[in-house]
Amino acid sequence: MIANEIRKKFISFFTASPRNHQEIPSASLIPENDPSSLFTSSGMQPLITNLLGEKHPLGTRLVDSQKCFRSQDIEEVGDNSHTTFFEMLGNWSLGDYFKKEQLPWNFKFLTEELKLDPKRLYVTVFEGNPSVPKDTVSIEIWKEIFAGAGIRALEGERIFAYPAQKNWWSRSGEPEKMPPGEPGGPDSEVFFDFGEKLHLHERSIYAKEKCHPNCGGGRFMEIANSVFMQYQKMPDGMLKELPQKNVDFGGGLERMAAATNDNPDIFQTDLFSEIIATIEKVTGKEYSNESNKPAIRIIADHLKAATFMAAEGLEPGNKQQGYVLRRLLRRATVKLRFLTNTSPDMEQFQPIVESVLHAYKGTTYFDKVNSQAIEKIIGPELLKFTKSLDKGLKEVQKISQISGKIAFDLYQTFGFPLEITAELFAQKGQQIDRQQFEAEFRKHQELSRTTAKGVFKGGLADHSEKTTALHTATHLLQQALKNILNYAVRQKGSHITAERLRFDFSYPQKLTPEKLQKVEALVNQKIKENLPVTMEIMTLNEAIKSGASTVPGAHYPEKVKVYTIQGFSKEVCGGPHADFTGRLGSFKIIKEEAAGTENRRIYASLTS
Ligand code: GLY
């Protein structure tokens, strides 16, 4: 089945009666006002505040397909099932239905809409821990569901219970790893069985063990995950029941497509096949040749992720999201270089970027950009790195003695994989200290995991008052900029941590110190006036008519929340916000700088 069809079926299945969900558009890959991570890495991320109890303008039943990026998976790309970019199909109950509706609906979708054979589905549940009991409720529901399909589902054969490492979901993993404020809960996953022959995959360390869904042997692939999000981590380390019991369902679209094709290689689904065919064409290398597969998969995944990021206006850089984009582009360039043994150029990159846009033609993801705009962002970076790579290769030829540390530096600086460095030096009769390289590599991996998990400083609730206050300050700042600069400033990005806000906006020149001072003073005046902040739900058209600001390029649902700061500002926004501006404290602009060529960036903080 093609992915467009699966996406459509999923949305229609959940919007139809009796499920009656409302469809929400995919949020941006770069989260707005979320201090916890660099990228949107799951469908629930844009809905965190709603899972914690904040009202959603479209009600308590939502469905979508969300663009996701997981940088912690970057080293794993190259096999048949890992990617950094993917789409997650999601449905949510915000304190509405729970297990007895979710599990049968999920099964019905997989077996009746996607027509997966029920005999090939295996399910898992949480086995319990000292504070949360075993999920026997889900076990009983699954037994009944399978019985309805004529299958006797026994625990240990069809239904498996696993510890928190496998069957607990939060953005940061099992309960011990959750920061205060973070929501999470036990989950129930569905695995598709691709057949016994795959279990004997020689690379699997589990090859001799009896196969089970989580054995890692390659036979089973997780295609659906229903999280029963009903707990929140407290500052004292305990789990507290949330006031509402939520369902947070996430299923990888690429994996569902692979299951419907009965082919465990997600790179052979239509979300990749055209991109892979283009890579084959521009490199002259065949995907069917096993030795080319890992490189071709990495090029396809990384350039796809980079295309999605650039389409949102992200530029390669040395920090945060920009650095991740740079790394993706460099890794793809190295792979292309070694696959073809020639320096890659735009004649190779361009058709690949275009094939990404084409693969998503049934969606709205690229509605507001064209391939030239994307190539303008990533082209110069790719070409610059190609030159540096050529230089690096010459340098490598000059080094006479290579330690594990130097090999790692080459990996870090020029993106040379160890195998390549080893191959080049073997020609000179040298051997690389693999152990030292691996020690360096592990250090680096730990570091990139921490960055990826993201700056996870303590979840939302721990700092909720601070982040909420900074969010309201961002609205005051936007309006103050409009008034003082006398310019139709548009929001181009916003990011809040517990310590500061960062606001990107359209403005063609540097702000003078006088102007900055005036902006700061106006925000502080509005804080002093202690203005009420109110919220109304209306259609997007009504919101625009009422003069509320929107973010250019953002996809909004039909109904939105409009936050008004009395007599001063009006914005379409998901919230939450302080109820009165007087709660904000004193506003201070820390820094003003360029953000790309056409936008400016302001960092500011609040002190009590
Ligand atoms: N939020 C559910 C998942 O990512 O699997």
Position 419 scores a pLDDT of: 65
| Domain edge (last residue) among 200, 233, 260 | 260
pTM over 0.85: no
List Cα–Cα distances, 496 to 443, 466, 608, in angstroms.
Answer: 28, 10, 17
Assess if residue 460 is contained within a domain.
Answer: no
438 and 515, same domain (yes or no): no
Domain range holding 602? 465-607
432 and 535, same domain (yes or no): no
Distance (Å) from CA 221 to ligand 1 centroid: 15
pLDDT confidence bin for 467, thresholds 50/70/90? confident
252 and 276, same domain (yes or no): no
Assess if residue 192 is contained within a domain.
Answer: yes
11 and 150, same domain (yes or no): yes
Residue 450 has pLDDT above 60, yes or no: no
| Domain edge (last residue) among 209, 226, 260 | 260
Q: For residues 407 and 603, what is the distance between their CA atoms, to the nearest angstrom?
A: 38
Atom of ligand 1 nearest to the CA of 41: 4
50 and 140, same domain (yes or no): yes
233 and 309, same domain (yes or no): no
For ligand 1, whether the C-beta of 44 sits within 6 Å is yes
- Mean pLDDT of the region 153-171: 96
Average pLDDT, rounded, for the chain: 89
Q: For residues 490 and 487, what is the distance between their CA atoms, to the nearest angstrom?
A: 9
| Domain edge (last residue) among 238, 260, 282 | 260
283 and 403, same domain (yes or no): yes
Residue 117's CATH number:
3.30.930.10
Residue 540's CATH number:
3.30.980.10
Assess if residue 241 is contained within a domain.
Answer: yes
Position 451 scores a pLDDT of: 42
49 and 166, same domain (yes or no): yes
Q: For residues 24 and 56, what is the distance between their CA atoms, to the nearest angstrom?
A: 11
Assess if residue 408 is contained within a domain.
Answer: yes
507 and 426, same domain (yes or no): no
Position 438 scores a pLDDT of: 76
299 and 252, same domain (yes or no): no
What's the number of domains the chain is made of? Answer: 3
CB 571 within 8 Å of CB 469:
no
429 and 495, same domain (yes or no): no
What is the best residue among 40, 42, 453 to mutate for testing ligand 1's pocket, by most ligand atoms within 8 Å of CB? 42
362 and 469, same domain (yes or no): no
For residue 561, the one-letter residue type is: K
Position 462 scores a pLDDT of: 37
Position 456 scores a pLDDT of: 34
Residue nearest atom 2 of ligand 1, based on CA coordinates: 250
